[in-house]
Amino acid sequence: MTKYLWIAVGWMIAVSAQAADERVIALATAGDVDAALVERVRAGVEEYSGAAVRLAAPVPLEAGQPLDVVGRAAVQTMEAGDFAIIVLARPLDDRPQGVCLPDERFGVLNVAKLEVGADADKLARRATQESLRVMAMLLKMAPCPFPLCVLVGYDKVDDLDRMSANFCPPCQDRFAREARKAGLRLIEKSEPAAAPAEAPAAEAAPETSPAAE
Ligand SMILES: [Zn+2]
């Protein structure tokens, strides 16, 4: 009897250990933020970081709310599997470009600041870069001194347009290590899946010229 009990306990531990590897980053909006922008940021962050990002419900935004108040409201909407929440916010008055409080598990980005002088593509790129920076901060990674890295320091928002959109290789490794430690679900890179479907078609027309013999 006790043996069965131990087996059951062991199984439960195995299941909960697996569940711990299924944590995700939640991405929410607050205020008037374009749904297409949010989806581009979600897809871009997943692609560059390798960590799963889920779209969360919008967070209510009131006039005059500071970004940290928005962040704390967002934390209240988090689900059990969420590691942290990133909010793309459009505050109703002038606010800083962003705030990230790793101990409180949130980062809030001010879209109104990011879109100055940017079209839709540029805004999506900037918001993705800033979201990657927030994710690195949430995992308590340090800024990077390497100029070709999204984690390098910068001054003005349009500096982002000249910066890398991606982690440098050491930061990428470090991010993957920290993400695993935090129990984040890492997604497979998608390149190998596309290859088999196209390969036969490319090789289907070899030169079979009988005249050559
Ligand atoms: Zn780096």
Query: What sign does the dihedral 54-60-61-67 (CA atoms) show?
Result: negative
Distance of CA 195 from the midpoint of ligand 1 (Å): 30
Residue 176: strand, helix, or coil: helix
- Separation of alpha carbons 76 and 79, rounded Å: 9
More confident residue, 191 or 208: 191
**Segments forming the whole domain that contains residue 54:** 17-212
Distance of CA 10 from the midpoint of ligand 1 (Å): 40
Is 8 inside any structural domain? Answer: no
Q: What is the mean pLDDT of the chain?
A: 85
- The percentage of residues in the chain with a pLDDT greater than 70, rounded to a whole number, is 78
What is the predicted pLDDT for the residue at 207?
Answer: 46
The 10s digit of each residue's pLDDT in 161-205 is 999 999 999 999 999 999 999 999 999 765 544 444 444 444 444
Q: Is the pLDDT of residue 94 over 90?
A: no
Strands 98-101, 53-55: parallel, antiparallel or unpaired by DSSP? unpaired
Is 204 inside any structural domain? Answer: yes
Sheet of strand 106-110, all strands in order from the earlier edge strand to the far edge: 53-55, 24-30, 82-89, 106-110, 98-101
Distance of CA 98 from the midpoint of ligand 1 (Å): 20
Is 41 inside any structural domain? Answer: yes
What is the predicted pLDDT for the residue at 91?
Answer: 86
Domain with 47 in it: what CATH number? 3.40.390.10
Distance of CA 77 from the midpoint of ligand 1 (Å): 32
Rounded average pLDDT over 100-106: 98
Is 112 inside any structural domain? Answer: yes
174 within 8 A of 51, measured Cβ to Cβ = no
Is 72 inside any structural domain? Answer: yes
Please give the tally of structural domains in the chain.
1
Distance of CA 78 from the midpoint of ligand 1 (Å): 29
Distance of CA 48 from the midpoint of ligand 1 (Å): 13
